[in-house]
Structure 1
């Protein structure tokens, strides 16, 4: 799967992406709302390998995000199958992680629009979810900005985060396919 927006290319991961993505995942500020807070190079490589497998198995997944202007890898984003930590039955979730230098430039909004287009027109999904820790106000605002709505009563504890950890309580957001209304 390869997607192009006016400023970005979303594409399968390449070996040359590993060091740049490892640097993004090693930044404690970028990963302040993730558990674990930072990832080692080996953990990032395992994550990329898992995403390559998911793309091969499902036809969609978490992709490398490259800036068209200069070819810089600015992060990762995509549609993926929600893990067992998310209660309920959901076809796909949207997610993204961008390097700090690329925040507040409209990239998340731009890539989300492209991913929703794929979800609706190619994959014919009924809805897409997103979720984040209840203290992650920036992600909540970003999901609302791209058209997602908080789902009242669907809060959950992310079982991949230890009991008592501040990042364990999560909120669920969703967007319904406008073509199926």
Structure 2
């Protein structure tokens, strides 16, 4: 579990499904990802993947909660998704962040992602990457604040830009 001034980050649990479903059911949340909200089956599968990732590798995506209210706000972390975009990137961990619109514009996503990156890098100081949809300006700003640099455009689901981050220490 990680604490920041406003947030609590912890690995997902199966009991998080109802909160996760509410967030992933908001059209704004997946606008830049799949373009449509997740079904219950898709949300459940993704949640189980996150739980399994923690169990297998000892790291993964954190569920993010507001400290003052206990409200679930979104997720951030790093994981080995093996998206098939080349052997170099399939062996690297991918950063990501998805937050409910009620967390937007408050610095919540950056606070959480920065904490997750610091925690990860203390344990695994290695290169990471992220994929961002071409028209997702706010995610580009956040990635750049986290130290990611643009590399290539790739075809995964739609056109996305690949950004890479070298660890601050090796």
TM-score by length of 1: 0.86
State how 1:52-131 maps to structure 2 within 5 Å.
52-90=51-89, 91-125=92-126, 127-131=127-131
Q: How big is the alpha-carbon RMSD for the aligned residues of Structure 1 and Structure 2?
A: 1.6
Q: Which runs of 5+ in 2 are unaligned?
A: none
Q: Which runs of 5+ in 1 are unaligned?
A: 162-167
Measured in 1, the distance between the counterparts of 2:122 and 2:100 equals: 29
**Aligned partner of 2:154 among 156, 159, 173:** 156
The answer to whether the aligner puts 1:134 opposite 2:134 as a matched pair is: yes
The answer to whether the aligner puts 1:173 opposite 2:157 as a matched pair is: no
TM-score by length of 2: 0.91
Measured in 2, the distance between the counterparts of 1:38 and 1:124 equals: 34
Query: Contact 1:13/1:63 (CA < 8 Å) preserved in 2?
Result: yes
Query: Contact 1:5/1:111 (CA < 8 Å) preserved in 2?
Result: yes
Query: Contact 2:59/2:120 (CA < 8 Å) preserved in 1?
Result: no
Query: Contact 2:12/2:51 (CA < 8 Å) preserved in 1?
Result: yes
Measured in 2, the distance between the counterparts of 1:82 and 1:155 equals: 18
- Larger displacement relative to structure 2 (81-90 or 97-106): 81-90
Q: Report what 1:38 is aligned to.
A: 37
Consecutive aligned runs of 4 or more in structure 1 exceeding 6 Å deviation: none
Secondary structure of the structure 1 residue equivalent to 2:169: helix
Q: Report what 2:48 is aligned to.
A: 49
Secondary structure of the structure 1 residue equivalent to 2:88: coil
